[in-house]
Chains A and B, each alone.
Chain A
Amino acid sequence: MIGLSTRRGVLALAAAAVFALGAVDLRQVSAHEGKCPVCKLDVVQDTDKLDNEVALKSGRKRIEYRCVACALQDSATYGGDLTILAPSEIKGKPVRLARTEGKWTTSPESAVFIAHRVGHKSCQLGYRALTTREALPRWLQTHQELPKDARTVSLAALLELSKTER
């Protein structure tokens, strides 16, 4: 086993190097990479080019899910107002879903959702927020695991779907 002081030294150097490269994103994100509370699979981590982590905020809680459908399904178990940050097709620009006094809205308002029935192995791609309907063709072009005729649905339709989806 590496001794405590040695490990500290190694980690200090590594952390310094990461900071120096400017690769650390200090926005508030979950520390530990856990399992999705709904589908029990790993929450797929963000990459340099694409965000994947879906976050539900309720009070001070910030819970991560594997896909927006999982988060929406689980939102029924939370009381009160909440928001869901759903990664979109644009890195760093999530779609914000808000439930206020039981009423759901999205920001931007133009947001739509791909809701293609896929196994949870790739649900972070099959259930995905898009900032506009126009983003669909490019999304399908770059994600060939989805069928070419995949369609988008509204938030209301996704909410209904998430009640039965498993």
Chain B
Amino acid sequence: MKHLTWLSTLTAALLGWTAAAASGSPAPAAMQVENRAVPAVRALPTAPPNLPKWLSNTRRNHIFIRRGRYNFDVYRIDRLARDLNAVSVGHAMAYEDLVTGRAGGLETDTFARIDRVLKNPPRFMPDEAAISPTFARTYGVLEQVFDWTHILHAQTVDVLASADLTEKQKEREIERLWQYYFDTVPYAITPLPMNMDYLYTFPYSRKFRNTYPKVNGLFWGYHWLQGAMYDLLYRVSPQDQQAGYAVIGEQYRKVELYLTDRYFMPMFAEVSPAFASRFPHIANAFDNLHMLHDMVNDILATEWLNERQKAEQVKLAIWMVSAEAHRGEKPGSEAAERLHDHRHFVGMPGMGIMTGMSPELMWMPSMGWMNMSDCHHCSMPLWSGKDEWRNPTVSADGWSMRIRCPLCARDMSAETKGRALLRIPTEDPERVALVISDEQGNLKTSSPGLIFIESEDTHIGCDEWSRAFTSRAAFDAYVKATPKLAGARALTFGEWAVKEGHKPDTYVKPKGPVENPYSSIVGPDMGKATSKEGAQR
């Protein structure tokens, strides 16, 4: 493969550079950077020969959405639609200022302008190129790559927000949209899980985050919303989608936009694990797109790169996450060259490996180490394979976790500060009950007639003795088919909602290799700051 050639060249050059550095000799010519202000230890990756022609395209190619009766159904949840419109404005304003010599005002004037838009979101989706004409002219292909995946974002959300399509129709249409995205133009982002540690340890990495923490916080807040909205909408009734966004939207506007202490961008599966496990290729593409945003931000913010180098590095960044660079490669495969390391977390094919983590153990700042294939409340294995849809989820405080049973979901939400959303599957794959917990832990749902079974015992069997049903008849049928639950009581939602389980006898807290895997790559000032304008989690 073509990319192997340039990677070999890069590896050889890096080895040569390392040896040269050790001997005190100058870096090899191929790795030298023209700007004298470049810190001595930094070396940039070089572009492979024969990059595809489309990467050098300078024409403006506007691509429009695929036809569908669901288009613009996101406006059914009007505030979500408006918040997403504001995201586009925010992206474009920041990019335009970055490339027009106004980067010095990003944390003040630009932030204030964007924040005003976020607080007064536009009614319609803007054309980003009209807000950032210089950026679009300078980095035209990049703009088109962004646009193409943003269209996939927009249309998949429209499908999920549709009040007319059945859940099965929605799933089919999402797959069709993916194929259209993947096959139509060369701008598709790879659906493979990427090694995020690799993509976040270039010489320019973290430059934007460290230099412009408030605007970077906004970017990562947008990416949080663009991920979190999927589980809010997926298999949830139109009525519940509205109620759920009242919670998610408030979290986004009051907290997530203004966090400046994240170590890394929000990953899709951290906020929408149900959708990510069903459509891992789409979750990966969105994470890779967001990583491309970060790489571009860092490149543009790196003062020791000249304009030619920035253009070259942006082009290289696009290539690295493009579908074309990884044709023929498989999810889950490991490669010595980390660009082609496509391992994912066990139980979560929709998330690439991150800094200091292994497929077995993932780390989140507010949760610590965890195994993505186990319930976060009782440590028992989650539903998997064709039964994956049976996993409830709990969303609170900015994260979402997959859980094994309704009891685990209810009790975990009671142990988490603030409001929470519980997605509780029933016996009907098409009906997920959305339960909302208020600040006091009181639960409510708009799903009528829910019946629960909760014959509490060891959590080894909680997948059997704790379940939700759409009707008494469905409950009776289940109990009849499960003799060991004979005589179990049918609980109404009100009865179930006030119960409190024991501490699960099976719980084991996973222990990771270190307290915080990011401590090895972050400076002492990172992970501490918060934006004055926003609330701290």
What sequence of 0s and 1s flags, for each residue 380-420 of chain B, a beta carbon within 8 Å of any chain A beta carbon? 11001000000000000000000000001001101111000
Near B by CB (< 8 A), chain A positions 19-51 give: 19, 24-35, 37, 40, 42
| A118: B residues at CB distance < 8 A | none
Query: Which bracket fits the contact residues of A?
Result: 35 or more
| A24: B residues at CB distance < 8 A | 505
Question: Are B417 and A61 in contact (CB-based, < 8 A)?
Answer: yes
Which of the segments A7-15, A96-104, A105-113, A130-138 contacts the partner chain? A7-15
Question: Are B503 and A61 in contact (CB-based, < 8 A)?
Answer: no
**Does A4 touch B at the CB level, under 8 Å?**
yes
| B380: A residues at CB distance < 8 A | 8, 11
**Does B35 touch A at the CB level, under 8 Å?**
no
What sequence of 0s and 1s flags, for each residue 434-469 of chain B, a beta carbon within 8 Å of any chain A beta carbon? 000011111100000000000000101000000000
User: Given contacts A24-B505, A35-B367, A61-B414, are A8 and B460 in contact (CB under 8 A)?
Assistant: yes
Question: Are B460 and A32 in contact (CB-based, < 8 A)?
Answer: no
- Closest chain-A Cβ to B273's Cβ sits at a distance in Å of 15
Question: Are B415 and A64 in contact (CB-based, < 8 A)?
Answer: yes
| Bound-state Cα–Cα, A30 to B365, Å | 18
| Bound-state Cα–Cα, A62 to B502, Å | 13
Question: Are B439 and A63 in contact (CB-based, < 8 A)?
Answer: no
User: Given contacts A11-B460, A60-B498, are A30 and B381 in contact (CB under 8 A)?
Assistant: no
Near A by CB (< 8 A), chain B positions 483-506 give: 498, 500, 502-506
- Closest chain-A Cβ to B515's Cβ sits at a distance in Å of 8
Main secondary structure of the interface of A (DSSP, over half): loop
Question: Are B440 and A32 in contact (CB-based, < 8 A)?
Answer: no
Question: Are B366 and A29 in contact (CB-based, < 8 A)?
Answer: no
**Does A59 touch B at the CB level, under 8 Å?**
yes
**Does B368 touch A at the CB level, under 8 Å?**
yes
Query: Which bracket fits the contact residues of B?
Result: 35 or more
| B506: A residues at CB distance < 8 A | 11, 15
| B368: A residues at CB distance < 8 A | 33-35, 42
**Does A76 touch B at the CB level, under 8 Å?**
no
**Does A58 touch B at the CB level, under 8 Å?**
yes
| B281: A residues at CB distance < 8 A | none
| Bound-state Cα–Cα, A63 to B416, Å | 6
Q: Which residue of A lies closest to B377 (CB)?
A: A31
- Closest chain-B Cβ to A137's Cβ sits at a distance in Å of 34
| Bound-state Cα–Cα, A19 to B377, Å | 19
| Bound-state Cα–Cα, A35 to B443, Å | 24
User: Given contacts A4-B381, A30-B415, A34-B367, are A59 and B503 in contact (CB under 8 A)?
Assistant: no
| Bound-state Cα–Cα, A11 to B460, Å | 7
| B505: A residues at CB distance < 8 A | 15, 18-19, 24
| A12: B residues at CB distance < 8 A | 458, 460
Question: Are B414 and A32 in contact (CB-based, < 8 A)?
Answer: no
Partner of B366, one of A1, A11, A34, A60: A34
Q: Which residue of A lies closest to B443 (CB)?
A: A60
Beyond known contacts A15-B506, A26-B502, A31-B408: 20 more, CB 8 A cutoff? A15-B505, A19-B505, A24-B505, A25-B503, A26-B503, A28-B503, A29-B503, A30-B503, A32-B415, A32-B507, A34-B367, A35-B365, A35-B367, A37-B417, A40-B365, A42-B368, A58-B440, A61-B415, A61-B417, A74-B417
In the A-B complex, the 6 residue pairs with the smallest Cβ-Cβ separation, listed nearest first, are A59-B440, A60-B441, A61-B441, A33-B509, A30-B415, A15-B505
What would be 18 A-B contacts, judged by CB atoms less than 8 Å apart?
A8-B460, A26-B503, A28-B502, A29-B503, A31-B415, A31-B504, A31-B507, A32-B367, A32-B377, A33-B509, A35-B367, A40-B366, A59-B440, A59-B441, A60-B498, A61-B416, A63-B415, A63-B417
